[in-house]
Chain A
């Protein structure tokens, strides 16, 4: 959905779409799906290990599409670089928090990422592990890698812009 909205924005330039997308993301971040200010996304079935195959995948889908959305925004060359960067920065803490939790908390000794990214770390508790839970972990880490690259490219664009400005 998020990437659908940024796509629509590109073709209609209706700023309301970007605000709607932010509201959707912000609502998730403010909802019980993120139980604490540490920012880690948790499905209600996670702690009790009662998630089904679909629920294992949902967190991954969310971060996948959040990444697409931010990539679309970063590529909007008609917008001020600072404006695009501010939007990306807004979600950096949230994305990084989840990517860290995937690696530090949810990853088991065999290197596979389990379902619950919060809670006690590593081997202390048993988590549901499947190709889907691992894939969701991949998506969160992929999202932070994407975000870092987008921010770097914006930084570059900014410095190039400044240089051009100086030349004038």
Chain B
């Protein structure tokens, strides 16, 4: 079925292998000029990341690898490969040219399939995937995108569900009321997580403590100094041999986890006043792959924002020369992510992916990050639009029913505003249609 490569310029070589595992056809497109997303054959440990396959090596039995990309629209056609212990799942790989080759209807979910890893299938026996156009580290896709991302390219012009008028009214009213409250409070908003806040509460000075829904058996009490000693020891291990000062990161981490880990280092330094790791934080700042990260999904970008907001707060107490560079970095990523907020579908929410990639899926974590980052940005920069973004984000989040009956947060919602169950709670890609205001019928 693979046509000769010569028929299509831009595709040097096209090798197809067919397997008959549970239906979908499996292709291996060998194309050195194309981008291949991060490939984690070793269950997420990072082996094989960011490399390209120079020769059409047959896949070992039991493995799937699907790559379908084009040069002209490659940003739209990355193949996302998610690996778990016992399977690979290709989340989305659709290429218009590829579709023409095949002369058949390729559904968006064409490549969603699973297979068991063979016992011999260690990283060494897998074909190496290398990218001749980029050497940068790529991070892998997330399993939870499995359902949400299947909209693929076509989701860009497919029908989407708008929010019901009732929801829109409720959100607008909620936002208005909170913005008014914020105006009443009239705080400066320019203090980075400072403790000096004025307080103009409406006569209340006590919090309502919600009774706990479950009593936890308290562990034996130990001296708080012991906890501190333990923390120091664990931090030494974290920043020990697994950490590379020349990159400011950990080779086995991916982009989002490396930025979160650095945030933890910042927190530790800020909290304890142990400043020995400042150079590690600065090393990440100097070596982070900014152009690559700016092409990543919105949650990745927002984790970066949070890192540098915390970093600036820490630097302001210890080494102020880093405050402005950190804030500049936060602003760069915040502005880049802000395009992901959308009200035309489902009345609000943050798209998981950048435009054209996971653009049909609004992920809860990404929306939460947007709220948190907007809040932090407002405190750093004092722009009203940032405060309003945080308020609108939260009001929509709460009213859209993103929080389920158990009080847990759903994983996200697709372009039909259908809710996906929380990944952490179920760890399966089940979907559940929740009746709610959001669904216009």
Q: Which A residues have a C-beta under 8 Å from some C-beta of B?
A: 1, 3-5, 7-8, 10-15, 17-20, 22-24, 26-34, 37-39, 43-45, 48-50, 52-58, 60-61, 64-65, 67, 71-73, 75-80, 83-84, 86-87, 90, 92-94, 96-97, 99-100, 102-103, 111-113, 130-132, 134-135, 137-139, 141-142, 144-146, 148-149, 152
Contacts and interface: CB of A to CB of B under 8 A. Distances in A.
Contacts of A139: 264, 267
Contact of A37 (B197, B214, B427): B214
Interface stretch (B93-101, B121-129, B154-162, B230-238): B230-238
B230 A135 contact: no
A42 B228 CA distance: 24
Given A4-B390, A57-B260, A79 B216 contact: no
B197 A145 contact: no
Contacts of A65: 372
Given A7-B390, A44-B424, A58-B424, A31 B267 contact: no
Contacts of B424: 33, 43-44, 55, 58
Contacts of A111: 233-234, 237
B267 A142 contact: yes
A131 B250 contact: yes
A60 B260 contact: yes
B246 interface: no
Interface of B: 40, 43-46, 82-86, 140, 142-144, 178, 181-182, 184-185, 187, 189, 193-202, 204-210, 212-222, 224, 227-228, 230-231, 233-235, 237-238, 242, 250, 252-254, 256-257, 260-261, 263-264, 267-268, 271-272, 368-369, 371-376, 378-379, 387, 390-391, 393-394, 398, 403, 406-409, 424-427
Given A4-B372, A22-B210, A78-B198, A45 B427 contact: yes
Given A77-B195, A100-B219, A148 B224 contact: yes
Contact of B85 (A50, A76, A93): A50
A19 B86 contact: no
A14 B216 contact: no
A76 B199 contact: yes
A156 to B, nearest CB: 13
Given A1-B372, A22-B210, A96-B218, A8 B426 contact: no
